[in-house]
């Protein structure tokens, strides 16, 4: 057993205390996702044990867990599965061979034993420890982490679990797990799992592991408008969460002081006008200022002219006088001293909502809005183009466009160029829109002539 611990220590480059290394009252479980298994590249798998989140792994990664002797309920779920459903079900006997993606219920971990679980669809790819060690030595997999739950644990369960473990409400990122052993969890009796189809039962990984910047960003001002609950139109699912989490990234990751962020959730026409006026004042009266404008909500075109409008929560799609013109927004902020104004628009302006239904009943077909004329130093990241719909990613609780915007900021700690950000969002949104919804959604970037050549090298911080 010491040989196994030493091998894992070398691979994981973790410091394991001498006292811990000498323990022999635990079993070790390796959960492995082989390289390119089941086309797993780019997909995340979440590991839960007895209702507690352990880690997120991807292709060519594994996680090793030390557990006291007892019965455990191990769940593997994937973020690309519809509604985040759990993967298959089985109740295996005590064994060292586990193949395919399953839910491992009533798994009996015994002292001194080592178990290798291949969570891919390839049966028994790592059916025993020798095969697993060989794959590691050849770097067919890379490590994700070692989690030790053997310290100060309660008496383990003496009988198998009879109910599924509860899926946790909030999960933590594997990247955020410390190198030192994590807090222990004992085998335990559990309650039935909540309905995982309700996305509110689980927060997205991008909502939790938000990187923190060590530098401030005093020269940036942010306007966020997140409209979800409308008086005369359908709700925009997850818009409020989109706005809240984007604000968190602006503060923590981009280093923008909170007092320089104008945040409006479920904004009326008056509130939207107030926020835009505040932003314009700052850009006109303070030197060297950059602006970020994020909007999530309904957009609608004028039926006659094709002009695009932002829809306040008290606005009506049949009366554009109750809406805020997109051209007016662009002109107002372009006619300032701003060094640059960057827009992230998670909305479409076709007259359809995010499910594809028409906002105005009389309209039967979505129409492409008229292209806007951009002045100043303006860059616009739009969630969709033409007559496409800006869709949601239900299992993550975000708009599809916003999710990949946040994910790239998370992966890069905000140190990403506009060109890199645009490519990442374009590729992932376009792919997921088709694979999940079987509809096109093509994010685009539009710029004013002044930054036509320089915008790809710009950054948010």
pLDDT digits 0-9 by tens, 24-40 = 567 787 777 765 544 45
The model's confidence at residue 353, banded by pLDDT at 50, 70 and 90, is: low
pLDDT in tens, 175-184: 333 333 334 4
pTM over 0.85, yes/no = no
* Cα 260-262-268 angle, rounded to 5 deg: 170
Fold designation for 208-457:
Rossmann fold (3.40.50)
pLDDT at position 367 is 45
Domain boundaries, the chain: 2-201, 208-457
Does the pLDDT at position 365 exceed 80? no
Does the pLDDT at position 202 exceed 70? no
Which of 38-46's residues contact partners 24+ apart within 8 Å by CB, and which partners?
A: 38/101, 38/120, 38/121, 38/122, 40/120, 43/78, 43/79, 43/80, 44/78, 44/79, 44/80, 44/205, 45/76, 45/77, 45/78, 45/79, 45/119, 46/76, 46/77, 46/78, 46/79, 46/171
pLDDT at position 56 is 74
Q: Average of pLDDT values for 2-24?
A: 39
Does the pLDDT at position 334 exceed 90? yes
Which of 333-336's residues contact partners 24+ apart within 8 Å by CB, and which partners?
A: 333/276, 333/279, 333/280, 333/283, 333/291, 333/293, 333/376, 333/378, 334/374, 334/375, 334/376, 334/377, 334/378, 334/448, 335/375, 335/376, 336/280, 336/283, 336/284, 336/376
pLDDT at position 51 is 66
Q: Average of pLDDT values for 40-59?
A: 69
- Token couple for 216: 């401030």
pLDDT at position 354 is 56
Percent share of the chain, pLDDT over 70 = 62
Q: Average of pLDDT values for 242-257?
A: 97
For residues 179 and 172, what is the distance between their CA atoms, to the nearest angstrom? 14
């Amino acid at each position: 057993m010491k040989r196994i611990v030493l091998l894992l220590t070398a691979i994981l480059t973790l410091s394991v205390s001498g006292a811990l290394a000498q323990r022999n009252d635990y079993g070790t479980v390796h959960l492995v996702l082989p390289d390119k298994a089941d086309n797993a590249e780019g997909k995340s798998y979440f590991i839960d044990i007895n209702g507690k989140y352990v880690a997120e792994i991807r292709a060519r990664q594994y996680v090793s867990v030390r557990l006291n002797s007892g019965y455990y309920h191990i769940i593997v779920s994937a973020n690309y599965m519809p509604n985040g459903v759990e993967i298959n079900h089985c109740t295996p006997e005590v064994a060292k061979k586990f193949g395919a993606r399953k839910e491992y219920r009533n798994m009996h971990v015994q002292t001194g034993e080592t178990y290798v679980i291949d969570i891919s669809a390839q049966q028994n790819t790592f059916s025993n420890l020798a095969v697993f060690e060989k794959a590691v030595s050849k770097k067919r997999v890379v490590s994700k982490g070692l989690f030790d739950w053997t310290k100060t644990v309660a008496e383990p369960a003496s009988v198998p679990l009879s109910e599924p473990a509860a899926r946790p409400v909030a999960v933590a990122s594997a990247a955020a797990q410390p190198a030192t052993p994590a807090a222990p969890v004992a085998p335990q009796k559990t309650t039935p799992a909540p309905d995982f189809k309700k996305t509110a039962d689980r927060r997205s990984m991008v909502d939790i592991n938000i990187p923190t910047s060590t530098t401030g960003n005093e020269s940036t001002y942010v306007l966020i408008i997140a409209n979800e609950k409308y008086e005369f139109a359908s709700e925009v699912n997850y818009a409020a969460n989109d706005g809240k989490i984007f604000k968190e990234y602006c503060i923590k990751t981009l280093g923008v002081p909170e007092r320089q962020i104008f945040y409006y959730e479920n904004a009326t026409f008056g509130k939207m006008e107030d926020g835009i006026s505040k932003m314009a004042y700052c850009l006109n009266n303070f030197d060297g200022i950059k602006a970020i404008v994020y909007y999530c909500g309904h957009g609608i075109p004028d039926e006659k002219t094709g002009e695009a409008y932002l829809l306040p929560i008290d606005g009506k799609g049949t009366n554009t006088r109750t809406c805020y013109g997109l051209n007016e927004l662009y002109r107002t902020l372009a006619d300032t001293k701003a060094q640059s104004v960057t827009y992230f628009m998670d909305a479409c302006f076709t007259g359809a909502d995010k499910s594809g239904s028409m906002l105005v009943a009389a309209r039967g077909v979505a129409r492409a809005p008229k292209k806007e004329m951009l002045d100043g130093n303006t860059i616009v990241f739009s969630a969709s183009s033409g007559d496409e719909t800006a869709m949601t990613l239900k299992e993550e609780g975000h708009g599809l466009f916003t999710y990949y915007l946040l994910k790239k900021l998370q992966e890069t700690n905000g140190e990403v160029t506009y060109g890199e950000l645009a490519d990442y969002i374009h590729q992932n949104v376009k792919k997921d829109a088709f694979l999940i919804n079987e509809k096109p959604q093509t994010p685009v970037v539009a710029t004013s002539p002044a930054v036509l050549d320089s915008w790809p090298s710009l950054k948010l911080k």
